Structure 1
Amino acid sequence: MKYLPLLFKIIIVSLMVTIPSGSFFFPQYIANKIAKNTISDEEVSFGIENQIEEAIEYRFLSVDDESNEWFYLAKILGKTDKDTAFKLATIYHIEGDITQATQWYKQASELEHKKAITELIDLYIEEGHLLAAKKLLLPLKSKQDALHKLVDISVTLGDEILLNELIVLLKQTNNKDLINQLKRYGIIDDNSFYPTHSKIRVIGECRNSIQLLATNLSNLHKLDMLVENIQDHPLTNFICFNTPRYISSTQLNCEYEQDSAIKCDETLWASFIPEIDARYLGLMLNEGGANVDNGILYLDSHDDTQVFIHELSHLLGFVDEYPLSAKHKVCQKPQESKFSHNIAVLKTHYEGDKKDVVALLEKQIPWFGFIDKATPIIHKDGGKWVIGTLNFYLSNKSKLIGLFKSETCDKNKVQAFMPTASKTSLRYYEERFITLYTDLLKQNPDEFLMPSYHYNVAKTLFKNNKESLGLEWLNKALKRELTKDANLNNPEHTNRKIRYNKIKNGEY
């Protein structure tokens, strides 16, 4: 801040002594000097120092936008000028400074800026401050946009009383589309709201049916969109979707952070009467890491179609081709039997006759039948057979099927193998779900399925020392394996029998 010459300050101060309290002399003096364009930098600085609005506005127009001085002056002007307050709020919002954005949206709202209240509401919703948004929306519920947001908030909060009031308004305004959405997702039944846990009834349409659930309308729409987006994907030949259904966030007990896997208390699903009729469940939350835990798929609202496909493939028996946790059960020791379509965890060396080693591998490699006889899968090194197709053999054969090292168990001493040297959607979401994987599904559609969600419930109940109820849900999971075509004594169904026994023994 520039300082006035000492003489000028003395003159100004002496004048102040002679002017009565409450006088508008200095603001008027500054205003006149500005109007005549004869004001000096020192006078402008003095005016700003003494909070004279005319001087602040004059200087504000000449400084660089969003410079330090601009922000200093804008914060002074924003106390009384709604447009400046709104601009400050918008800048802070874009920059991600939510505290400052909220403060200035509030200030602009108090100054009756038309858009500020809407932006503040949306910011509260965006940040999950639903009660604050609800408070601002209630006086505006006669407006359609506000009414829609209030409906979504009441659904998300599980506020039965408010939703019933809003449904009356929806009917009065003939808002059939939103009412039909509420019915479609199981949020309301005809004229009444009901808790999902007591009246939901979902009919599975196929063996590998999935019931998707979400806690708000936005995520329910997102689930519908994801299902629509994969209709042409080959996975849809092996799986089907029930209509997404609502579940109140108040019913859930979940742990989730942006960069960690979503985990929930899965005993919840035992409280649905009647139980949800599907093999698998899929729950979408606002944030958290997508993952599959046996028969339950977890997504967050930011996950796209590629993530959805990746996670669905886990339910059908595919394993990640990126490095798993060192503690992951898949990578603790070489496999005793086939467990997935695309990964085999084997010893790195075998001894004995070549034919015997190849015969042993045939029993352990799910894609063995797709490997050309001319493609080597072992080679001699000293007195041992080293497992794997060497990369140099590939040459220009990028689509070659063989036995290639996978990154799956890179954090462990055991070695994982995959059928291709190419990167697939099991390694990177954006890569292809390769044709071979579709062919493997066609060959053995049921061999490596995850157990149904009933198994998740049973396992959690056993952990909570509720053995009787746990056994009941374990039997529900076992019944899902006993389909008409599943003869567990048939040698061709060996892997189904293995899965049945793993479920029975709680080994998933």
Structure 2
Amino acid sequence: MFIRVTVVLSLLLVLATSSFSFERYINSVASPSDNLVWFALKHNAPSAHQFVVERFPIESNAWFNSAKFVAISDADIANQLAQIYEQKGDYQNAVSYWQQSIMLGNDESVYELASFYYLQEKYDVAWQLLAKARLDNINENKQWLMARASLAVGSELSSIVSQNDRYLNKFSLFGYAPEAIVPAKVMNRCEHSITLVAGNYEDLRHWQHIKAAYDNSPLAEQVCVKAIQYIPLLDLVCEHDIEKAIQCSESFWKKWAHLITSKYIAVLRPKGGANVHFGILYLDRTDTAQVFQHEVAHLVGFADEYTLSATHNICNGGIDKIHINFSLLARKDINGNMVTLKNAQKVPWFKAMRNEGLAVRDSYPIGEALTEQGLGFFISETCSANKENIALKPLRERGFMRNYNLPVPDQYLTLLDQSEETSLMPPFTYNIALALYQEGKVEQAKEWLVTSATFFQSPDIQTKTLRGGF
């Protein structure tokens, strides 16, 4: 008894001095008694708390009490406590210990706390943390998180892009792992594909809503969305005036083409008029899935059926391209409201009408359904303002090319199935070639024309592409 009291009293005397190391002392004891450990803990000996953290079961009461003490100076333990509290749903304590860990220099806690704030949709707080993070030894998961948080607050990530842009491949579709972007059945069922591009979180989110609605469209069977892709710095290369069609400097896409494996791309901007320029579709933030569907239809060969200006190229024969639902006819060639056989044979849907059993004759009436499917030669509003020419369309009723809120006629889907490559817009790489040519970079332009030609099967269309004939 005298020996035990002496040891305890001696321990009590030296605990107040800096020369005693409880950890060293207790490690020298083969089997330290509980009384010895609890006595030292009662007097908050740092080495005693360290001993408990290292040797007691994690999350036991003793471990928790000592971990809180050790976390005052140990960044790793503070981070461990934060993770435990987060799992328990005690977010206030979790944040407090992450902040403590960050203050003590733990870089991992920066990303963990930022991820927590991101999931809480506190994007600005997450980005403030990440913007100050050290970029050395940053892995791809951290780059992905930085991209996501940056998108949420509209940052262009210029500093990160300059160091390493590989993370962009990890951010094809926000909130989802890359392999989950497009189900295989969607990838395999469509003949043509399009990538939806945006430069900030709000626009990526809008694309997601448009895609969800468009995927139920019958046109999605022919032109499917392959991915939603983040591309930075769009504000620097695109004009978006609400009174004008959206335009971008299209040589810009040369830098990002390696990320895009679809034939076409669609670019979302804050405002401006939706339009299609060769293989690039432009949309503004207020446009709906119906507007998107209408514009996609232009890519595969459908012409507008609402009134265009009298000087529009399509109404003056200035477009060397076949349209599925459009045929231009000189007003002087209409005799008695009839289309001659010679002119009828130039109409893109005439072959489909013949396949339905339409007989060959010298002329055909305008404005009458001539087949069981209702196909015929009907005057379209497209060129109604033009005094020299008129436009013909296949159906009497109005459809989605007249008003984007109207349905896609089944007959148009059939005509699309039967159409040839002559009705297609060239791929987005053709836009790059054209932009480079206009910048005087002829040799680079030729290289992109070669790339563009590979998207076609027809030798004639390949030749047309190589000579920049669209």
Length-normalised TM-score, structure 2? 0.59
Residue in structure 2 matching 1:318, options 302, 306, 312: 302
The worse-fitting range, judged by mean Cα deviation, of 464-473 and 178-187 is: 178-187
Residues 197-236 of structure 1 show CA distances to partners (whole Å, capped at 9, x for unaligned) of 9434479956522111112111111111111112222211
TM-fit CA distance, 1:288: 0.9
Structure 2 counterpart of 1:347, one-letter code? A
Residue in structure 1 matching 2:220, options 222, 226, 236: 236
Residues 171-196 of structure 1 show CA distances to partners (whole Å, capped at 9, x for unaligned) of xxxxx9x95992999999xxx95469
- Tell me the residue number matched to 1:216: 200
TM-fit CA distance, 1:313: 0.7
- Tell me the residue number matched to 1:432: 407
Residue in structure 1 matching 2:419, options 444, 452, 457: 444
TM-fit CA distance, 1:239: 1.8
Q: Counterparts of 1:182 and 1:219 in 2: how far apart (Å)?
A: 13
- Tell me the residue number matched to 1:362: 345
For residues 15-164 of structure 1, the aligned pairs below 5 Å read 147-149=122-124, 163-164=130-131
- Conserved? CA contact 1:335–1:346, under 8 Å: no
Q: Would you identify which runs of 4 or more consecutive aligned residues in structure 1 move more than 6 Å? A: 141-146, 183-188, 374-378
- Tell me the residue number matched to 1:476: 451
For residues 364-383 of structure 1, the aligned pairs below 5 Å read 364-370=347-353
Q: Counterparts of 1:318 and 1:227 in 2: how far apart (Å)?
A: 20
Residue in structure 2 matching 1:460, options 432, 435, 441: 435
Residues 367-416 of structure 1 show CA distances to partners (whole Å, capped at 9, x for unaligned) of 5423766699986xxxxxxx7513xx569x99732111112122332211
Q: Check 1:361–1:179 CA distance in 2 against 1; reply closer, same or farther (3 A cut).
A: same
Q: Counterparts of 2:392 and 2:281 in 1: how far apart (Å)?
A: 25
Residue in structure 1 matching 2:264, options 276, 280, 294: 280
TM-fit CA distance, 1:467: 0.6
Structure 1 counterpart of 2:148, one-letter code? L
Residues 412-433 of structure 1 show CA distances to partners (whole Å, capped at 9, x for unaligned) of 3221110012111101111111
TM-fit CA distance, 1:320: 0.7
Secondary structure of 1:459's aligned partner = helix
Residue in structure 1 matching 2:382, options 399, 408, 413: 408
Q: Check 1:474–1:357 CA distance in 2 against 1; reply closer, same or farther (3 A cut).
A: same
1:500 to 2:466 alignment: no
What stretches of structure 1 of length at least 5 have no aligned partner? 1-140, 155-160, 169-175, 380-386, 489-496
Residues 256-294 of structure 1 show CA distances to partners (whole Å, capped at 9, x for unaligned) of 222321011001001227353221111101111111111
Secondary structure of 1:283's aligned partner = strand
- Tell me the residue number matched to 1:342: 325
- Conserved? CA contact 2:399–2:408, under 8 Å: yes
- Tell me the residue number matched to 1:63: none
Q: Check 1:453–1:142 CA distance in 2 against 1; reply closer, same or farther (3 A cut).
A: closer
- Conserved? CA contact 1:295–1:315, under 8 Å: yes
Length-normalised TM-score, structure 1? 0.54
- Conserved? CA contact 1:388–1:405, under 8 Å: no
Secondary structure of 2:308's aligned partner = coil
Q: Counterparts of 1:181 and 1:236 in 2: how far apart (Å)?
A: 29
TM-fit CA distance, 1:164: 3.7
- Conserved? CA contact 1:295–1:454, under 8 Å: yes
Secondary structure of 1:257's aligned partner = coil
Q: Counterparts of 1:167 and 1:414 in 2: how far apart (Å)?
A: 66
- Tell me the residue number matched to 1:292: 276
Q: Counterparts of 1:308 and 1:219 in 2: how far apart (Å)?
A: 14
- Tell me the residue number matched to 1:114: none
> Aligned pairs, how many?
323
Residues 339-377 of structure 1 show CA distances to partners (whole Å, capped at 9, x for unaligned) of 01111112335499xx99425522433354237666999
Q: Counterparts of 1:460 and 1:196 in 2: how far apart (Å)?
A: 27
Q: Check 1:142–1:471 CA distance in 2 against 1; reply closer, same or farther (3 A cut).
A: closer
Q: Counterparts of 1:196 and 1:435 in 2: how far apart (Å)?
A: 51
TM-fit CA distance, 1:505: 2.8
Secondary structure of 2:379's aligned partner = strand
Residues 13-52 of structure 1 show CA distances to partners (whole Å, capped at 9, x for unaligned) of xxxxxxxxxxxxxxxxxxxxxxxxxxxxxxxxxxxxxxxx
Q: Check 1:260–1:374 CA distance in 2 against 1; reply closer, same or farther (3 A cut).
A: same
